[in-house]
C-alpha cells in the first residue's frame, strides 16, 4: 500500500486525537500550507463520514469578547464575530470518533 493521501492523514490525526484540534494545529502536524485547504478537506471528510462509519465533531468558533458560538454551514475561521463585530474569535476545532 502506498502513502496516505492528505485527507487520510487528516482523518487519521483527528481519529487518534485525545482532544479537539484546530485547523492551524492540523497544518503544523501535516505540513499543509493553507488553512482554507484544511477546512476543505474536513468538509469532504464529513460528507463521506456517513458511509464510512464515523462522525466528525465540529466545535464551533467562539467569540472571546461576547462568548457566543459562531456556527457555519461549511467549516472555516470567521474573521470577526457576526454579533459584536469583535475580531477576537477562537477558531473551530475538530475531532473524529467511530459511530456507535
Q: What is the pLDDT of residues 9-68, one digit of tens each?
A: 999 999 999 999 999 999 999 999 999 999 999 999 999 998 899 999 999 999 999 999
For 40, residues 6+ apart whose C-beta sits below 8 A from its C-beta are none
Query: Structure pTM?
Result: 0.90
Q: Please report the sign of the dihedral spanned by the C-alpha atoms of residue 35, residue 28, residue 61, residue 87.
A: negative
Of 7, 2, 4, residue with least CA distance to 96: 7
Q: How many angstroms separate the CA atoms of 84 and 72, rounded?
A: 17
Amino acid at each position: 500500500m502506498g502513502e496516505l493521501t492528505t485527507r487520510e492523514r487528516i482523518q487519521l490525526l483527528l481519529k487518534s486525537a485525545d482532544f479537539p484540534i484546530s485547523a492551524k494545529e492540523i497544518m503544523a502536524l501535516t505540513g499543509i500550507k493553507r488553512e482554507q485547504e484544511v477546512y476543505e478537506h474536513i468538509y469532504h471528510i464529513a460528507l463521506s463520514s456517513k458511509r464510512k462509519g464515523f462522525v466528525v465533531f465540529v466545535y464551533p468558533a467562539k467569540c472571546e469578547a461576547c462568548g457566543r458560538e459562531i456556527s457555519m454551514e461549511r467549516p472555516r475561521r470567521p474573521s470577526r464575530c457576526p454579533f459584536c463585530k469583535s475580531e477576537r474569535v477562537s477558531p473551530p476545532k475538530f475531532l473524529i470518533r467511530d459511530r456507535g
